[in-house]
Amino acid sequence: MPILDRRVTKLLLCFVTLTLLAAGCGSTESEPSSAAAPTAATGLLPVPTTAALSPEPAVVEAATPIPETSEASTVLEPVPTPTSLSCLSTRQRVAQLLLPLATQPELIGAQVFAQDGELGGIGLLGQPDDQLAADLTALQESSFVPLLVASDEEGGSVQRLATLLGPIPSAAETAQSKTPDETRNQWIEYGSRVRALGIDVVFGPVLDVGSGPGIESRSFSDDPQVVASFGRAAAEGLLEADIMPVFKHFPGHGRATADSHLELPTTPALADLRGSDLVPYVELLADPVLGQQAAVMIGHLAVPGLSNGLPTSMSPATINGLLRDELGFGGLVFTDAMNMGAIVNTYGLLDATEQAIVAGADIAILGSLADVTPMLDYLVMRAQEDANLASTIDNRAARVLAAKGQEGLCLGAQ
């Protein structure tokens, strides 16, 4: 297909998506085993086509700028080895950092992005039917770079595959009715069926301590030790099923003042979180298996003494500081969905996503496929303007490819 036709097709897809889709994360929510193997074959991919390496299109103007208090990093990060990214254009590298949400009918349209390497992954919305495995196979086969495929599977009110695979209990019900061993076995069995569909990332388990707004029965308990015990069991079961679990919502949404789908909540101060909300993360990320093979999702939270008024998903002190430096976490970091009220009520989506990447996030979850092209345009432009950001993008893209088992992606293109 000529590249002009493809861009026209993408624009049409974006228009249709915007008119049909209202995306969130988790309960209405949209929220990676050392990297579970990608659904597609992991053999060497061909040299990029001319279309895939084409000049970058014009950039869409960003909305509300981030305030100067955003603690933007000025440290130039190390550039990955050339062989890990050398066959990818800047645009294709940026694409590895974005994971849009889509309903099952939109997976066909997602192939337009995937075939040019402009899609790093996809997150499922809605309630898919029994054609999902075939649709995901077709998407992977069309993709220039193997995709991460993610789904919210907590149980209870947050379970995308409930219609297809049958319901499982909420976290609260699980902690009241099952043992940790039974919970682990449940997630081995359920995770195996999820993996058979072509899904390799589950956004869960929830490690939030407490049942505040937007969390409710999604939390195992208001006791951090109970949360840690059942969170470990669920994550170990998912890993046994070759699924990457994603702990959420760091550093802790359970006692926050509001639902982050609607507005930016405030949590207790960092000193208070250390004695409760952070306990499950400290315990589980210290585990030599979970600390390497699980991922972490950053919530959109204002934490006194930590995020300086910013959402934690945009805060270098939260991601690069508390999570990376203090807790020593080296795995993938996702943001919560960037279209949630906690972000878009105050910040422009483009600027906020750039800030999240600078702050330490590897993958930003986007509300829809309609967000992909403007985000690619914007971040490519910013990388051309800012060598530090370009190096950061390369660092993040290399980590994502490693999580997919694709460190040798470009070896055949040398």
Name the catalytic one among 336, 351, 371, 394. Answer: 336
The CA distance from 45 to 26, in Å, is 34
Inter-helix orientation angle 3-20/372-385, to 10°: 120
Phi, psi of 75 (to 5 degrees): -90, 125
The CA distance from 203 to 210, in Å, is 18
Q: Catalytic: 371? A: no
CA 195-127-140 angle, 5° bins: 45
Q: Catalytic: 261? A: yes
Name the catalytic one among 249, 253, 261, 300. Answer: 261
Beta-bridge partner residues of 363? 334
The catalytic residues are 261, 336
